[in-house]
Amino acid sequence: MAPIRPVLPPLLATVVLSMPWAVPARAEVARPRAFILLDREPADAQRGAMQVHLARARLEPAWRVEDASSLAGLAWPDPGCDPGPRDDRAGRVLQGLRGGATRFYDETDVEAARAALQLAIDAFLESPCVFAADPRGRAEATAGAVLLLRLHLLAGRPEAAADLGRRLLRTFGADELASVDVPPEVTEFLERVRDDASAALVPLEVVLIGNSPGATVLVDGRALPSGSSSAQVARGAHAVTVLAGGSARTRRVRVEGPDRVVLDLALSSLVRPGPEGTLVAVSPADLGGGLAGRLSVLTGCTVVQMSGTGGNEPVEASVVADPSGRPLPGIVLRLERAGGDGSVLAIASGPLARRKPWPWPWVTGAASAGLLAAGIVLNVQANRSADAVNAGTNRLDDWRSRRAGSIACYTLAAAAGAGTIVLAILGRPAAERVVLSPIPGGAAAGVHGTF
């Protein structure tokens, strides 16, 4: 009789042993930026705000949800810079400036003059566009601001004078300040402040996307020269305003170095700020015209569109645009009313689906390890029995039974290992029951789930 050979090489044990733990650990990946686009204004503002608040919190594990006011490329309506309100404010500013000058030069009431000028200059600096169409009014504002700085110095307030000087240098050009006739000590003080600020001046470029004929670009209320798209500005907060078609749009930026501001006025006109840092489509028809895709390209963010907010029907959140070109998961979150107690059931899917913790992967993994150990033992015994049979000191049926048992254990270990992998990867999304309770100034949300 030919010698009996071992049929289960040790290599098989190594392969089977590695199978239950073959799932690699998921690397930590930076969350992509996203924002929420509402298909319409919520029917019920408070309920819509609560739904958006809940959706933002639920989207955060997969995306870094941005506030719409910070999105690059968009400029929001600035009613204070529209022609009518702008002229009204300009009139009030001029009245305050002239009243302050009268109290100083004619009435010699220094304190009353300082108070009147302070109010007028603060109103102007809050909305420097008021003299965008009135160069003479801007020149008056320059003279009033320099007079206020002089009054601070006369009153022994160098800190207030330095702060005002820095604010003036962010709004007025050096040529405007130099045109004002002031005493030498004020000129020297302003020169020192200007020297400190000039060292920190950086270029700011303003780029308008699309055709905007007749548009005037203001940086802190001062129009950019014809044919130019950039200005030298100090580091800090600035207002970039575009006057076009009888209306104004402003974007407030913070400049810390050479910077570039891109504004798409046509796209900005299709959306408006919504509740809880969202965007709202001005017209539902725009949603079908590629609005989400254009917003995604402009802002570099994933667009999550929410439909049905503020009503009694279910609210769905869908990923409708992604600048990376990745496949879109579609609906990722659904909010449904769970009862008359105000509770809401949040059902997540796609990248938001949470896996319920359950013991079965551990059970099958332990079973796989146990069966593998038993198979190894039976394999060793079968090999010893084969040697004994070849030597004529053992029965053939012992070798056969041990060999069959070893093969069965290896097979079951492999099956249990594969089951462990499947159970570890697959899991049912966990539905969350969220109770929303209105409170003064907003709403409180409590979340609990099942395991």
Task: Determine the pLDDT at residue 287.
Answer: 83
Same domain membership, residue 281 and residue 258: no
Within a domain: 447: no
- Distance from C-alpha of 10 to C-alpha of 6, rounded to nearest angstrom: 10
CA separation, residue 40 to residues 15, 68, 201, 405 (Å)? 57, 15, 43, 67
Same domain membership, residue 187 and residue 90: yes
Within a domain: 432: no
Write the pLDDT tens digit of every residue in 73-111. 999 999 888 888 888 889 999 999 999 999 998 988 989
- Distance from C-alpha of 268 to C-alpha of 74, rounded to nearest angstrom: 5
Instruction: Indicate whether 181 pLDDT > 50.
Output: yes
More confident residue, 18 or 236: 236
Same domain membership, residue 122 and residue 188: yes
For residue 101, the domain's CATH number is: 1.25.40
Domain count for the chain, please give it: 4
CA separation, residue 158 to residues 15, 150, 402 (Å)? 80, 10, 98
Residues with Cβ within 8 Å of residue 335, at least 6 apart in sequence: 51, 54, 55, 314, 315, 316, 317, 344, 345, 346, 347
Within a domain: 403: yes
Within a domain: 237: yes
User: Which tokens is 60 given?
Assistant: 């955060």
Task: Determine the pLDDT at residue 377.
Answer: 63
Q: What is the mean pLDDT of the segment spanning 282-294?
A: 85
Within a domain: 344: no
If we measure between CA atoms, which residue out of 330, 296, 133 comes closest to residue 214? Answer: 133
Write the pLDDT tens digit of every residue in 340-383. 666 777 888 878 876 555 555 556 666 666 656 766 766 666 66
Q: Are 17 and 372 in contact (CB under 8 A)?
A: yes
Instruction: Indicate whether 388 pLDDT > 70.
Output: no
Same domain membership, residue 181 and residue 96: yes
Same domain membership, residue 85 and residue 187: yes
What range defines the domain where residue 49 resides? 40-66+270-333
Q: Please give the model's pTM, rounded to 2 decimal places.
A: 0.66
